Structure 1
Amino acid sequence: MQERRAVLFVWLVAQFPYGDDPDRDGGHDVSKDDEVRGFRDNIYRALQNRGTHAACRAIEKMMEALPQLDWLSNVLVNARKKVLQETWVPLSPESLLELTQS
């Protein structure tokens, strides 16, 4: 599933390149183009916040396909942090005591 999101993101970037994003200051009517660009961005944000190794691999594939988007490396760092947050298991008090007595 995560890999399919990466493929979709790469395709959307090809169709709606970041370099063509309009400069928006202040309020404006949201066009269909704006909606698609928002959807494009939500894909990488969802992967970043997923907290899984599969999501990190998907981001790595996006980075390989889109090396010009150097900011994706920050997305990967944040995704890896999320994995650590989701998978960290604290030591039990007993285990901690064992460590201090060794």
Structure 2
Amino acid sequence: MIDWRRVAELREEIGADGFVEVADMFLDEAEGAVQALVSGLPPAEVEGQLHFLKGSALNLGLSDLAAICQDGERRAAAGQVIDTGQVAAIWQASRAGLLGGLASGEAGAA
């Protein structure tokens, strides 16, 4: 679900303080994007929100979230309906896993 090597790599690249800032910003922005998806966006905006989530998730090592967003992005581009509830569920699990792993120091062990 989480690529802890990527998390550790990002933390090393930008420093601990920078990492906290990036992670906090991502968590806030991603929460807003997921809520927008769940509340119902015009079809033309769904693909963009999924693209944003995918890129940010890849940057932070949230591989499951990135994968479902990539699939959703392709489906949205093809005019297909997206299961936003599934995206939201994976987002919640990814968020909990990231926060739990960071609190337990898992990112430093990668």
TM > 0.5 fold call? no
